Structure 1
């Protein structure tokens, strides 16, 4: 396999050298400096487990488009939740929800946000919380079925059909980039302070790479992905190859693929 970087000409790589190259990129990007320009900084403002997981879920939900816009709008969202998301979710009344109507991030609007707040209350009151609802269905080597079942539980409350598009379903061939990113944040303990690792009952080996334009393009250049579409089938192919490189922590390579794509224009 051959690849080109900013600092190197065409170079031959075997599997061992590819792993060494990607491991070095993980070390380069999986550190606290990564937080400064990434939406993960929003949940890092909180210390209580439930505040972190709710903030992370809502931030990941709007994590598409310009990253500065994502960070700014996630901050606005937390302001609307009185910067106490868990308390707001559990104890809000109808009048508390009215200010949320002003929120908008691309196609995710205030009505969607209100539905998400009500759905989160339903998850905590009736399903034991976000970690529990995923843990109960995390039976396979991948969490993609668990994501689909989570979506079913999440929308058990009354809602507009349009809001369902903001939680992807891998069983409908979605790569589910944002919710896979959320699960990486919650499950993976990287010992560097980036990912939180506050969900201890799900194995990092079950995580899937948040597949987007950047990670997909880099993965194809490195021979980790051949499928052209960024869909569930592509995610399965990428996951399979990343698990060969590190069966216990395959999604650590998200830092390498994302960093190479965004910061190095690989």
Structure 2
């Protein structure tokens, strides 16, 4: 398939899957249940953090997180007490109550000391992607005393992680698709710098389409994929996540 034909094919798949019906089966439905900016971004961050494994279970457990925070995440983050956190019961695969309670404390620190998630994850003006922004955010997020086990739940792209979950969160917050899926509420960010949330599905489809030849789903692979997707649309390269994911999950391409 010629590059122009491939672009046309993927553009058609973006239109097909970047649609409100996508929300009903995706963890992005959790932040879509809120209207306040801070509630949206906090619920999105926590939902994306546990977004690995069975999608039904991800959604179920993300809803459980919202229940624990009284369906008022920003208020809970700012004003929770130690009593509120004592006895919290939560587990999603390797993310458990110890991790969740630290995330709540770290988010309080992010919002009270660092202007919130939007500015804590803001890349430099000359950055071409979020590699350094995410690495810096991880340092910031873990500046409080914390259990070492919890560090694994935020990836570090400088250590060659593809950082799939946080890239997905960034897509949700930064990209405005005008279709009712991605929110686009972080106006200080640019969608041109976003990278595809690279996972098993998107990686396998990208290899079948010959736009990725690296075998590992790591940051080097992501940069290779970025190069092609940015050539297709330099202003909105990550829209092709819908095409790759849809082809892999829904069409078993």
| Bin for the TM-score computed over the shorter chain | over 0.9
Query: In the TM superposition, what are the counterparts of 1:4-43 in structure 2 within 5 Å?
Result: 13-43=1-31
Partner of 2:122: 135
Alignment of 1:156-235 (within 5 A): 156-235=143-222
Is 2:241 the partner of 1:237? no
Alpha-carbon contact 2:123-2:130 (below 8 Å) kept: no
2:65 corresponds to 1:77: yes
Instruction: List runs of 5+ in structure 2 lacking aligned partners.
Output: none
Question: Where do 1:95-174 residues align within 5 Å?
Answer: 95-100=83-88, 102-135=89-122, 137=124, 139-174=126-161
Task: After TM superposition, give the deviation of residue 132 of structure 1 in Å.
Answer: 1.0
Aligned partners of 1:142 and 1:175: how far apart in 2?
A: 12
Q: Answer yes or no: is the 8 Å Cα contact 1:138–1:146 preserved in 2.
A: no
Aligned twin of 1:10: none
Shift of 1:99: 3.9
The number of residues matched between the two structures is 253
TM-score by length of structure 1 reads 0.94
Q: Matched residues in 2 for 1:235 and 1:197: separation?
A: 22
Superposition TM-score, scaled by structure 2 size:
0.99
Q: Please provide the CA RMSD for this pair.
A: 0.8
1:39-78 equivalences in 2 (<5 Å)? 39-78=27-66
Q: Deviations over 1:202-232 (max 9, x none)?
A: 1100000000000000000111100000001
| Change in 2 beyond 3 A, CA 1:20/1:136 | closer
**Secondary structure in 1 matching 2:121:** helix
